[in-house]
Amino acid sequence: MLEGISKFAIPVIFILILSIGLEKDVKVYDVFLEGAREGFTTVVKIIPPLIGLMVAIGVFRASGALDILVYILKPLGELIGLPREAIPMAILRPISGSASLALVSDIMQKNGPDSFVGRLVSVMMGSTETIVYTMTVYFGAVGISKTRHTLPAALMAELCSIISAVWVCTLLFGR
Amino acid sequence: MLNYIWAGLLLFGFITAIVTGRVDAATKAVMDSAKSGVTLGIELMGVVCLWSGLMSIAEKGGLVRAFSRALNPLMRFLFPGVPLKHKAMGAMVMNIAANFFGLGNAATPFGLKAMTELQKLNKDSNVATDSMCMFLIINTATIQLIPATVIALRSAAGSVKPTEIMLPIWISSFVAFLCGVLICKLFSKVWRC
């Protein structure tokens, strides 16, 4: 049953969106192209940050600095059952979207996308957004300087979702 | 903040490389990673464009609007400080719906509009209101119908089943949403400035 949801999700979403579009007389192909072009611009825009951050993460890993950081933070990770390869992800995810994108790609290249860690960082990447960036843009736009409990509450929510990601991945895919 | 993190990763990395005698490996990593940054971007392009296009059809077909109407009862619970007919409510609900369908480019303008409207309801223009905090927290824990970027990443890395993480992502983002809302409601009672 659970496997069926992930398996049929894509075809069902295609069928649903296309039939509703046709029913509402949407020029589906023209609109598709318009949206795809927007996606194209988005991807082109993230290539420079990806280059910068992949280089930084690459150097950090190749030099052995990553091993030192992971060694220091290992006890914290063990507390919530987080494998050591995924620890840097828990730190970077709230700070930068493109940095965590680069990190997920790096982790999947080293461990394989279908390994436990590969799946886990995929879920971590998909289930929360970049807290710091969102706060900067939205609060900055209206000139709010006292953000009260926003950051701590968002970080705690992220922690909950990491714990749930570890748990769900173990349950669905095994360790 | 990212300025410091980026420089820190590079500086700490190169210094460690010199100390541990891995200078050659670090130098090689610079060139290889720069190349893989471009490769990764190009590999993401296909899937991201595809979903961005499909979701535009959903938007034009009225799915985003229908979804935002279904959210109304939830919105009343989340934002008791905002009148239901207020412009802020409309902008917030469209932002959440656009995020759900993965329309990042559409979600941000709605979000900014929502913040401007919420600011009009604010008595102390320096301090965030309960509704603003809640709106921000929901934005960082949005549930996304198709996590296109992650699927693209996995497919680029050669995954056998790039979409198998959809259900776990829905569950984990729902947990993040639920915890975020509860913690925010709790904190807003005690955290006044």
> What digits encode the pLDDT tens for the residues B156-191?
999 999 999 999 999 999 999 999 999 999 999 988
> How many alpha carbons lie under 13 Å from residue A65 in its C-beta half-sphere?
23
Q: Do A153 and B187 lie within an 8 Å CB cutoff?
A: yes
Distance separating alpha carbons of residues B78 and B89, to the nearest angstrom: 11
pLDDT at B150 over 80: yes
Does residue A150 sit within a domain? yes
A34 occurs within a structural domain: no
Its pTM stands at 0.88
Torsion angle (degrees, nearest 10) of CA A109, B144, B138, A53: 30
Residues of chain A found within 8 Å of residue B20, distances taken between Cβ atoms? 63-64
The range of the structural domain enclosing residue A120 comes to 50-173
- Helical ranges in A63-143 per DSSP H: 65-79, 87-92, 97-111, 116-127, 131-142
Contact B40 A54 (CB under 8 A): yes
Interhelix angle for B87-100 vs B63-70, to 10°?
120
Contact B157 A127 (CB under 8 A): no
Q: pLDDT tier at B51 (50, 70, 90 boundaries)?
A: confident
Residues of A in contact with B55 (CB under 8 A): 17, 35
Q: Check CB contact under 8 Å for A143 and B125.
A: yes
**Segment A7-48, tens digit of pLDDT:** 788 888 899 999 999 999 999 999 999 999 988 998 898 899
Nearest alpha-carbon partner for B108 in A136, A151, A79: A136
Mutate to test the interface with B, among A37, A104, A161, A170 (most CBs of B within 10 A): A161
> What residues in chain A have per-residue pLDDT under 50?
none
Q: What is the rounded average pLDDT of the residues B2-30?
A: 93
Closest CA of chain B from A21, distance in Å: 5
Structure tokens at A10: 């894509």
Domain boundaries, chain B: 45-190
The beta-carbon neighbor of A168 closest among B125, B146, B171 is B171
Cβ proximity of B161 and B117 under 8 Å: no
State the count of interchain CB pairs (< 8 A) between A and B. 360
SS3 A19: helix
- pLDDT confidence of B48, banded at 50, 70, 90? confident
Cα separations (Å) of B127 from B82, B132, B138, B192?
16, 10, 19, 9
Contacts of B44 in chain A (CB under 8 A): 43
Q: Is A134 on the interface with B (CB under 8 A)?
A: yes
Q: Look at residue A141 and tell me if it is in a domain.
A: yes
Q: Are the CB atoms for A161 and B168 separated by under 8 Å? A: no
Assign B137 to helix, strand or coil. Answer: helix
- How many domains in chain A? 1
